[in-house]
Amino acid sequence: EAQVTQNPRYLITVTGKKLTVTCSQNMNHEYMSWYRQDPGLGLRQIYYSMNVEVTDKGDVPEGYKVSRKEKRNFPLILESPSPNQTSLYFCASSFRDTEDEQYFGPGTRLTVT
């Protein structure tokens, strides 16, 4: 089944403890991106990747890192999480770019205490 998977789905952690949220797609998509969803703000783009080893900042990149070593994987790294990063995170992928249909993962709910 063609899909985007994220792990973990739920995570509670403490301030400063490094964490990684994984994202994987099996559709051979070139474009992948990360969003955070906060009440009243909709989805805001954190980082995106146009292809392997090519990434760039979205609108809210502070406090996050990404890497794209393989086409199918696009992990989101929080090196020193803070409470203001408590949010619902979505990974998405598409064939080439944002003009194409985006396929979303199920979301990861992160709580930083």
Partner 1 sequence: AQRVTQPEKLLSVFKGAPVELKCNYSYSGSPELFWYVQYSRQRLQLLLRHISRESIKGFTADLNKGETSFHLKKPFAQEEDSAMYYCALSGAGGDSSYKLIFGSGTRLLVRP
Q: How far apart are the first and last CA of the chain?
A: 36
53 and 69 Cβ atoms separated by less than 8 Å: yes
Q: How far is the CB of 58 from partner 1 (least distance, A)?
A: 6
- Using CB under 8 A as the binding rule, whether residue 98 contacts partner 1 is answered as yes
**Which of 35, 8, 1, 15 lies closest to 83, judged by CA?**
15
Cα–Cα dist 24/75, whole Å: 8
Contacting residues for 61 by C-beta, under 8 A, at least 6 apart: 46, 47
- Using CB under 8 A as the binding rule, whether residue 99 contacts partner 1 is answered as yes
Q: How far is the CB of 43 from partner 1 (least distance, A)?
A: 4
Among 7, 13, 45, 67, binds partner 1 (CB under 8 A): 45
Among 21, 34, 35, 87, binds partner 1 (CB under 8 A): 35
Binding residues (CB under 8 A) for partner 1: these are 31, 33, 35, 40-45, 48, 50, 56, 58-59, 90, 92, 97-99, 101-102, 104-107
